[in-house]
Each structure stands twice: as C-alpha cells, then as structure tokens.
Amino acid sequence: MKIVYLWLLGMIIYNGCFISTGTAASPRPDVVNIGAILSFNTSVGKVAKLAIELAVDEVNSRTDVLNGTKLKLAMQDTKLSSGFLGIVEALRFMENDTVAIIGPQQSVMAHIISHIANELQVPLLSFAATDPTLNSLQFPYFVRTTQSDDFQMAAVADIVGYYEWRDVIAIYIDDDHGRNGVSALGDKLAEKRCKISYKAPMSPKLNSVEIKNALFKVALMESRVIILHIYATWGLDVLNVARELGMMRSGYVWIATDWLSTVFDTESSLTSAAVDSIQGVLTLRMHMPDSEPKRELFKRWNNLTASNTENSRFGLNTYGMYAYDTVWLLAHSLDKFLNQGGNISFSNDTSLTEFHGGRLQFDAMSIFDGGNLLLSSILKVNTTGVTGKLEFTSEGDLFHPAYEVINVIGTGIRTIGYWSNSSGLSVLSPDKYNAYEPNTSSSKQKLYGVIWPGQTTQKPRGWVFSSSGRQLRVGVPNRVSYREFVSRIENSDSYGGFCIDVFNAAKDELPYAVPYKFVPFGDGHKNPVTSDLLHLITTGALDAVVGDITITTNRTKMVDFTQPYIESGLVVVAPVSKLNSSAWAFLRPFTPMMWCATGVFFLVVGAVVWILERRTNDEFRGPPRRQFVTIIWFSFSTLFFSHRERIASTLGRFVLIIWLFVVLILNSSYTASMTSILTVEQLSSPVKGIESLVTSSDPIGFQRGSFAENYLTDELNIHRSRLVPLNSIGEYEKALRDGPSKGGVAAVVDERAYMELFLSTRCEFGIVGQEFTKMGWGFAFPRDSPLAIDMSTAILTLSENGGLQRLHDKWLTRSACSSEGTKQDVDRLQVQSFWGLFLLCGSVCLLALLFYLIKMIREYMRHYSGQIISPQSGRLQSFLSFVKEKEDHHHHEEAAAGKGEFKSSRPIRDQRVSSNGRVHGDDHDDSVVSGSHAC
C-alpha cells in the first residue's frame, strides 16, 4: 500500500507538482499554509467549504488569535464520483509548505491519506470522517474533530433496546465507512442482547436497479426494523424505492443515521415524493448546546447565504459547524505551537533517497519538521466553540458525545429525546440532564411518543413471518402414554390434548396470524426423547416444539422457552397401604423423643415444687416413700389439672403457673393431632421419599425419554443400572405391583402432572414424600425468537383471564384417589415444635431454685450467726439439716409484758426455736425470750 501511495505522489511530482522544501521559518511567520480536502458537490462538502472560508476570514481578521500571523487556505475538490482522481487532486495542495490539512470528508479517503500524513508528519483534522477504526494507533496523525460512529451506533442500539426489538436489518454502503459503522452497530446491539439478523451491503457506485434488488431481499426477511447507514447522496433514493415497494407502511421501522438530519438541515425544501418517502422515520442529529456564539454564527450564515448567487440557498448543518470549529481549533493550536518555539520548516525524507534519480523524483518530497509538536498541541487543546467544548479524550474522541433523536412528521421534524454516553436515552437535553441527580425519575430511559410509518402511534412489533409463504413447522411428540397432553386425532392430521389447546389459545391471543403445521416426532411405539426433538430446532428442521416439554437448564442452552403454562416437579410414586389402628395408636401424636421429653419435665417440675414446699407445707413432708409418691402423684396429676396438694410458697406457685400453661399447650396439641390421625385416612409405604430411594439399592422406574433419567444419575448419583425405563401406564402399574422381588420397581420417579393422571384411578399407589424439584412446561422456539416473547405474553394473558384453568379442568381434572402418601411422620408432633415452651419452663425452675437457695443461705447465716461450726463438712451438714427442718407458722400476740412473755405489735410468722433459745422468723424479727416458749 505504501508503494502505491508513493507512486501516486511520484506521478504528481512527475507532472510538475513538486513539493517545495522550505527553509527554517521565523518563530512567528507572516503566513501559515493550511489545506482542506472536500467534496464540493455534496450536502456536507458545500456547507463545510463555506464554513471553513468564513472561519479563516474571522481568524485572520482578529489579531488576538495568531498575533499577526495569517492563515493561507488551499482547497481541493476530491470529486466524490471518482475516488482515484479525488485522491490525486487532494494531493495537489502539497506543492506548498502545508502544516495541516482539514479533512478529508470521506472515511474511505481518510484511510488512504492518513498513510501519507504519517509519512510527511502533517496532521489531518477531519470534521466528517466518522469511521470508528480511524482512531487506531495505525493513524497517529489523524485527528477526528467530530463525533465517531461508535457513539452514533450506541445511540441506535439503545433505541432498539428501548423498544424491545431483538433483530434488525442493516443496509449500508460496502466501503470502509459503511462496513466499520455496521460492525460497531453489531457490537453495541450485542450488549443489549440484540443482533443484526441480515446485512444488505450496496456498492459505492449505487444505482436504482441495485437498490431494488437489495430491498427485495430485505422485504423477504422477518425483521421489520431497518437501520439505514448510507451517504446523504443516495439515502433519499433508497427510501423512495422502499416506499414504492410498500416498505414504508405500518409495521416497518426505519432508523436512519445522521445523514437524514443533515439533508433536512441543508436543503431548503424537499420534493413531495421525498417527503412522502421519509414519513415516520427516526434519525439522529449531533447535539450541540445552545450558546451565543452558535446563534451569532447562524445570523452570519443566513446573511452570507442570502447573497449567494451561484447556488440555491442552503442551511448550516452540524458537519458545517464542526468544520467551522476545526479552523478555530487549528488556529489555537498553531498559536500554542508558535509560542512554544515551534518552527515552520520542512526537510527531505531520507527514507526516499533510494528513489533518487529517474523520472519519478520521490526524493523531492519533504517532511514537516514541527508536525509532531503541532499534533501534540492539537490533542491538548481545551477551548469552546459553536459545537460546545473542544477537548479530546485519551482515545482521540471529543468529550461528551450526544445526539438528538428525531422523528420525521409531515414536512418537518420533531425531537423526541436525546442520547448521550452518560445519560443514555432521555427527554432532557444532556446539558439539562447534568443538572439533575442521576437517580431521579427524570433521568430514566425515556422518549416521547413517535408517529411510525403508516401514520400510527402504536409501537411496531418489529418482525413478521416470512412472506415466502412457508408455514411455521411445529414439532409435536408422538406419545404412547398420557395422551391427554398430546395426541393425534384418529383419521386426521390434527392434534389434540391439553398442550395443543393451550398453544392454540395462546396463538389466538396474538395480534397477528400465525400460519403453521404440526410435524410429529416419534415412531408411535415408544415415547420420543425430548432432547432429540429440541435439537431439530437448532438444525433448522423445526421452527417450534409444542408439547409436554419440561424447561431445564441444559435445554435452555439450545432453545428459548415461553413462560411456563403448567408447573410440574418430580415426585416419587410407590405402592401404599392403609395404616390400620393398633392398641398403641394413642402414642402416634407424639414422637418417642417428644414423649420422653414430656415425661422428664413432669418429674423435674414435681421435684422442684417438692423442694420449694417441703419446709412450709406438711403435705410435702413425711417418710421418704410418702414424699416420693407425692412427687409422682403431684407431677402427673397436673396433666389433668386435678392435683389436690395446696401450694403455699410464692416461688412454688410461680413454677406451677408456668407448668400448667405448658400442660395446656401439650394437651391441646395432642388432642388436635389425635383427631387428625383418627379422621384422615393414613397411608403407609416402605418408601418414604426420594431420600430413602437414593440410599437403597432397589430399582427405580422412570418415563422413557424424559429428563428424569439424567436428573437421577447426574444430580442424585443413582447408578444407571438401577433405572428401569417405562413406556406406558400399563408398564407403570405392572412394575409397581410386581415390586423388586418379581422384577418390578420399588417406586417410579416422574413429573407430578403425569402422576396425578396415573393415580386418578389407581388408589393402591400414592405419592410419597415431597416434590423435590420445581419446574414447568413451556413451548420451545429458536434462540432469540420474537415469537417466544409474544407467546409468553399470550400465556400470561390466559393465566390472568382464567383460560389456562379452564383448559386444565377440561383435560386433567379427575376424581383422583388420595395421593398425599404416607402421613404418619408428617402429622406426629416433634420436640422441635415445643422447645420454646420447654426452655421457658426449665428456665423458670432453675430461677426458682436459685432464689430459694439464696434465701436458705441468708436464713442459715442469720440463724447461726455468732456460732462456730467446724470443720467445713460440719457446716455443710449443718446447712442441710437446717434446710430439712420444718418451718412453723405462728400468728399470736402477747398481751402481758409483765409475765415475761415476748410482745410484738405484729404477728410473728414462721418462727423457729433453736437450742440456744433464739426465735427465728421469715420476717427477721428475732427477740430474746426468757423461760419457756410455746411451740
């Protein structure tokens, strides 16, 4: 490639277009040569030409910008119609000592000229080349002074995601600009879980025949969301042909990149045919904040174009404003370059000395010595222009990219929202958005209403069935068993059953027709393998699968499922027998552990009450045998609230109140559980659930073709040799009745929906244990199929209006036998259900004993105060003897103090007479008495 570019330069040199080699310039030269590469015959080029000339005149008229240095502009017309001649003409301005080039306008040409700029170290400042790949390290001297298509395609992808479309069609010019822009679009759509389903490239030398051929193919596609990334020169022609082909009617979505807004801003008027062709189209426009410099530029522009006699009046578009700002950006950079001591000088390219001599004088080419320093000044510029802030990121893009989202309505346009890389889609402009907090409601993704093609305000679905006339191929399993779900109607090609009726009902809820035909899968002698049926969708043999298809993780990796229309987890079915009553049936409400815990607490509470009452209550005193009987009797008599012993102490009464509350709860629970056991039929089975099956070595049956086989082996680690495939209901019944001893199975693992039908007429079997998976059935479609989303919405509608329940009652409701399975373990009351009560009762007993012990120690210390008891064992024995003593109660008053009797103004309670003649009472009113004491 480099040799080709050098050859082009050589041709120019050979024809007399030599690039002169300048000498060292003064630090502040009088004139600096700059160039501009434009296509004068395009909407962008003619506006940019006038904008650049206007900007150069303004810079030269102001002495405070370049301090007396003038810009000398040389323009070359690249003639878009001829790329080769355009490149040759673009290089003609290199005859002068050019320090920078504004342009080129097209991305294709920018790729080529960037190689020359690298060689000659001349910065390229392009205001219109939007190809994202131009930012690569391959082109260090390319500077983009406009927004990259990378941001524009991000805005398009956000619009597609906002309206919840999944597939789009891209129409583009097959050159660097079109291909790289669409590639960026594909990347941005992938982030939204969307994709380009079809690409329609067009030749750069476009004609009406090629446009029609391309649009004919697009019209046959299912997607109706079309992204048009094309040049303004041919954009209206494409939309006009689309209107003629009926592709601008209701149901279509057209999103044009910013070329369409450029046409609107540039052209003063459009033909009626062009206006009709763009109705309802969405397009983008680079957003520029409103400012005084921008308004002043528009005033000068209107005055300038009003006096234009050469051509018709044209407006100032966004690319023209970026071209205007590019001149000012370059001027500020040159000023900084000169202030830093930069020299405007050129030198020979030593790498071309090998071409010295001959007719192609490549060695005459020169390099701008200060190119690297000027490039650094350009990239570090920080100023404000009519387009907003001019500052570059580390990737070479302008800061704060933003676009307006525009809807074409009638003869005008309407802004329905904005996009920026910080806010996404918003009805607020980016400059106003920054004034709000990001988490406020005003910052949510939102656009105003749109009038779509066909003059409708209803959001298009974004896709239709292919117009090729092919019906939707819907696979259905050719089942042997459980034909209530899917079955072929005899002597016809029609199918019936619960799943088929749900599919038809959901299809009728769709706002469009769905032509389809059922394709059976299976030989009719055994149930087909569901995974094999779903695999046909991935190969393209089927467009959908309808039937009893369980949604599993592995299957969702192959296809997309709709919303589940029935829940059906795995259950265990085994033979069950009625649990007969026995002499010990009264023990069933409590588990053995519960009985033991209850009995222990009866004894503990009795013992605690005995300890608290024995010193003050004669009913808890006497010989050891009598005391033991009293404890047992008192404890268990509280079960019926029939205890006859009087409780005198406060602590004893408190313990008894808590215990009676516990007994009340136990009595109520026992009664309720016993009532349930006696009134509800109880079934028993040697199989208690999936846990007992996993730990056993018995054979297990499953439905052939279902996912249960892989689940049992992969998830539960059951050896495959234990699994027995079963095809029909008859095989289910025979295998369960025979049991493992006769070559049958101990249990069958299958989905609840099947088992409920199986058990409806077979009461000798039942579901044991709990359902151990939670799954559902759905209809399968290819990955990213929009029909799966619409069918899910229809299924939810059926669920809400009761349609699903009516179909369930029609096909699946039966007078089924009890299928709850064995209940003896479920209904029995466990210790875990009452541990809170037992904890409360035990805590109260411990606290009561603790308070009683403290009280005894205090009384003992007061009783024996002043006495010396030794050794330590003697003190403990004395304390135990003190505790065993009975505490008397006296309620009397002494009337005559002269008789030597003790007088008290209050009753003496709980007095005790010790051997030393001291009286001790609970009221701690001890008195010394003389003589004898009445006991």
Indicate which CATH number applies to the domain containing 529.
3.40.190.10
- Please, which pLDDT band fits residue 94 given cuts at 50, 70 and 90? low
Candidates 116, 86, 89; CA nearest to 2 is 116
Phi-psi region of 310 (alpha: psi -120 to 50; beta: other; left: phi over 0): alpha
Question: Of the candidates 645, 679, 713, which is a domain's last residue?
Answer: 679
Contact yes or no for 406/396 (Cβ under 8 A):
no
Neighbours of 891 (CB within 10 A): 8
Residue 108 located in a structural domain? yes
- Please, which pLDDT band fits residue 556 given cuts at 50, 70 and 90? very high
158 and 285 inside one domain: yes
Contact yes or no for 820/766 (Cβ under 8 A):
yes
Judging by DSSP bridges, how do beta strands 195-202 and 167-173 pair with one another? parallel
What pLDDT, on the 0 to 100 scale, is given for residue 323? 96
Q: What is the CB-side half-sphere exposure of residue 678 using CA atoms within 13 A?
A: 11
- Please, which pLDDT band fits residue 723 given cuts at 50, 70 and 90? very high
What pLDDT, on the 0 to 100 scale, is given for residue 685? 72
Flag the least confident range among 179-183, 429-433, 582-586: 582-586
What average pLDDT score do residues 14-23 get? 37
C-beta pairs of 391-400 under 8 Å, 24+ apart in sequence: 392/143, 395/135, 396/135, 396/143, 396/144, 397/135, 397/144, 397/147, 397/148, 397/150, 397/151, 398/144, 398/145, 398/146, 398/147, 400/430
Measured distance CA(329)–CA(347) in Å, rounded? 26
- Whether 215 has a pLDDT exceeding 90, the answer reads yes
What pLDDT, on the 0 to 100 scale, is given for residue 469? 55
- Please, which pLDDT band fits residue 578 given cuts at 50, 70 and 90? low
654 and 668 inside one domain: yes
Candidates 147, 142, 151; CA nearest to 378 is 142
Measured distance CA(370)–CA(549) in Å, rounded? 72
604 and 544 inside one domain: no
3-state secondary structure at position 612: helix
Residue 817 located in a structural domain? no
Residue 61 has phi, psi (to 5 degrees) of: -80, -10
Judging by DSSP bridges, how do beta strands 747-751 and 570-575 pair with one another? antiparallel
> Which comes out higher in pLDDT, residue 466 or 763?
763
725 and 752 inside one domain: yes
- Whether 389 has a pLDDT exceeding 60, the answer reads yes
142 and 153 inside one domain: no
617 and 674 inside one domain: yes
What pLDDT, on the 0 to 100 scale, is given for residue 637? 76
166 and 284 inside one domain: yes
Q: Which residues contact 376 (CB under 8 A, 6 or more apart)?
A: none
Residue 822 located in a structural domain? no
What pLDDT, on the 0 to 100 scale, is given for residue 253? 97
> Which comes out higher in pLDDT, residue 451 or 866?
451
What average pLDDT score do residues 436-464 get? 78
- Whether 402 has a pLDDT exceeding 90, the answer reads yes
What average pLDDT score do residues 912-935 get? 37
> Which comes out higher in pLDDT, residue 626 or 144?
144
| pLDDT tens, position by position, 273-299 | 899 999 999 999 999 999 999 999 999
- Please, which pLDDT band fits residue 617 given cuts at 50, 70 and 90? low
Residue 463 located in a structural domain? no
Residue 921 located in a structural domain? no
What pLDDT, on the 0 to 100 scale, is given for residue 92? 65
What average pLDDT score do residues 46-52 get? 94
- Please, which pLDDT band fits residue 826 given cuts at 50, 70 and 90? very low
668 and 697 inside one domain: no
> Which comes out higher in pLDDT, residue 206 or 683?
206
What average pLDDT score do residues 572-601 get? 77
> Which comes out higher in pLDDT, residue 924 or 523?
523
Measured distance CA(84)–CA(91) in Å, rounded? 11
Q: What percent of the chain has pLDDT over 90?
A: 43
| pLDDT tens, position by position, 468-520 | 557 899 999 998 888 899 998 887 888 999 999 999 999 999 888 888 999 99
Amino acid (one-letter) located at 330: L
Indicate which CATH number applies to the domain containing 242.
3.40.50.2300
| pLDDT tens, position by position, 768-791 | 888 888 889 999 999 888 889 889
What average pLDDT score do residues 114-141 get? 91
373 and 406 inside one domain: no
Measured distance CA(250)–CA(246) in Å, rounded? 9
What pLDDT, on the 0 to 100 scale, is given for residue 255? 97
Measure Cα distances from 903 to 115, 136, 890, 892, 923 in Å: 126, 114, 13, 10, 15
- Please, which pLDDT band fits residue 21 given cuts at 50, 70 and 90? very low
What average pLDDT score do residues 178-189 get? 95
Contact yes or no for 176/148 (Cβ under 8 A):
no
What pLDDT, on the 0 to 100 scale, is given for residue 914? 41
| pLDDT tens, position by position, 349-369 | 666 555 555 544 555 567 888
Q: Which contiguous run of DSSP H or E holds residue 196?
A: strand 195-202
Residue 764 located in a structural domain? yes
Candidates 223, 259, 220; CA nearest to 239 is 259
Structural domain containing residue 547: 472-567+777-812
Number of folded domains that form the chain = 5
- Whether 32 has a pLDDT exceeding 90, the answer reads yes
285 and 218 inside one domain: yes
Residue 645 located in a structural domain? yes
Candidates 64, 125, 88, 62; CA nearest to 330 is 125
593 and 562 inside one domain: no
What pLDDT, on the 0 to 100 scale, is given for residue 310? 54
What's the Rg (C-alpha) of the chain? Answer: 48
Question: Of the candidates 754, 774, 794, which is a domain's last residue?
Answer: 774
β-pair partners for 366: 348
What average pLDDT score do residues 187-213 get? 92
- Whether 103 has a pLDDT exceeding 90, the answer reads no
- Whether 933 has a pLDDT exceeding 80, the answer reads no
Flag the least confident range among 2-6, 127-131, 230-234: 2-6
Measured distance CA(733)–CA(727) in Å, rounded? 11
Measured distance CA(227)–CA(189) in Å, rounded? 12
What is the CA 267 to chain-centroid distance, rounded? 45
283 and 427 inside one domain: yes
- Whether 96 has a pLDDT exceeding 90, the answer reads no
What pLDDT, on the 0 to 100 scale, is given for residue 898? 39
Contact yes or no for 674/698 (Cβ under 8 A):
no
Average predicted confidence (pLDDT) for the chain: 81
Measured distance CA(875)–CA(855) in Å, rounded? 17
What average pLDDT score do residues 52-78 get? 91
Residue 868 located in a structural domain? no
